[in-house]
Chains A and B, each alone.
Chain A
Amino acid sequence: MTPLAGYLLVAALVFAIGLAGALTRRNAILVLIGIELMLNAANLNLVAFWRYGPHPEALTGMMFAVFSIAVAAAEAAVGLGLVIAIYRHARTADLDEINRMKG
């Protein structure tokens, strides 16, 4: 197994764990934690391909990863703001309770 395949497998594993977390937990914040894990796994994929792919001097993969980190931070902020707003309205952050469009 080449080093690249090793990194890609780790990234796939972390992605699957994040996906499982986002799909199976009740709490809204844990869904966001799962999403953050998925984004991180994608970043690992990008940097691994940058390192082992052709033309690492073009810095493309690394730049993509840096921008992805910044966008993920912004999305986490907005997502958590939304969770707080929903909690204030519905008095719970349990996603099985907040399953109707009517407030």
Chain B
Amino acid sequence: MTVVFWILAAVTVAGGLAAVMLKNTVHCALALTTAFAGLALLFMQLDAQFVGFAQILVYIGAVAILVVFAILLTRESEQPEKGVFSRTWLAGLAIAAAVFAVLAWAVLNSRAALPDAVGLPKPAPEVTVAQIGDALMGRYVLPLEILALLLTAAMIGAVLVAMHEKGGRK
């Protein structure tokens, strides 16, 4: 449990907290970007460098910008007048706290059920990009092709959903 892990965990959690608590929506999006960056660095800390770079490229380079564009297009960047939390915020908070309690209890008390070797620090696996490529084209080729179809469908769907209707109510 190195110092680096604690710093990155603190950055990620702080970014997540800021992302759901701030008033200004664009600030929330930027805090979300910080959380993504913290998570990418955590992935690299776990010796999964490819996943870390893919996280930066996809999430920070695309999803964060999508969120920001959507915020600007729906004019939510101005200050809201009625308060940012919904009427039923207490119930939501209670549910989230309960979920975290259950998960934390499960994580902390499950060590007894696992064999001794699992969970202890192990030497890092040597994963090269060539191995990932082999896996993608060999064992995981079916999910890859289905993902291609999914991305095409999502792209066409998103364009159609957000398109201006011709002659509709503007």
Contacts and interface: CB of A to CB of B under 8 A. Distances in A.
Contacts, number: 250
Interface string A59-72: 10011011101111
Interface string B21-48: 1000100110010011001001100111
Interface string A24-39: 1111011011101100
Given A22-B92, A84-B73, 8 more contacts: A8-B103, A29-B71, A36-B63, A52-B122, A54-B118, A69-B54, A77-B66, A94-B80
A103 B144 CA distance: 39
Interface of A: 1-10, 12-27, 29-30, 32-34, 36-37, 40, 43-44, 47-48, 50-54, 56-57, 59, 62-63, 65-67, 69-78, 80-85, 87, 89, 93-96
A5 B48 contact: no
Interface of B: 1, 5, 9, 12-13, 16-17, 19-21, 25, 28-29, 32, 35-36, 39, 42-43, 46-48, 50-51, 54-55, 58-59, 62-63, 66-67, 69-71, 73-74, 76, 80, 82-89, 91-93, 95-97, 99-100, 103-104, 107-108, 111, 117-122, 124-125, 127, 131-132, 135-136, 140, 143, 147, 150-151, 154-155, 157-159, 161-162, 169
A62 B127 contact: yes
Contacts of A80: 66-67, 69-70, 158
Given A23-B92, A47-B46, A78 B111 contact: no
Nearest to A92: B74
A3 B5 contact: yes
B166 to A, nearest CB: 13
Nearest to A61: B48
A6 B30 CA distance: 26
A30 B28 CA distance: 8
B85 A25 contact: yes
Contact of A5 (B12, B92, B108): B108
Contacts of A65: 43, 48, 51
A18 B162 CA distance: 26
B150 A77 contact: no
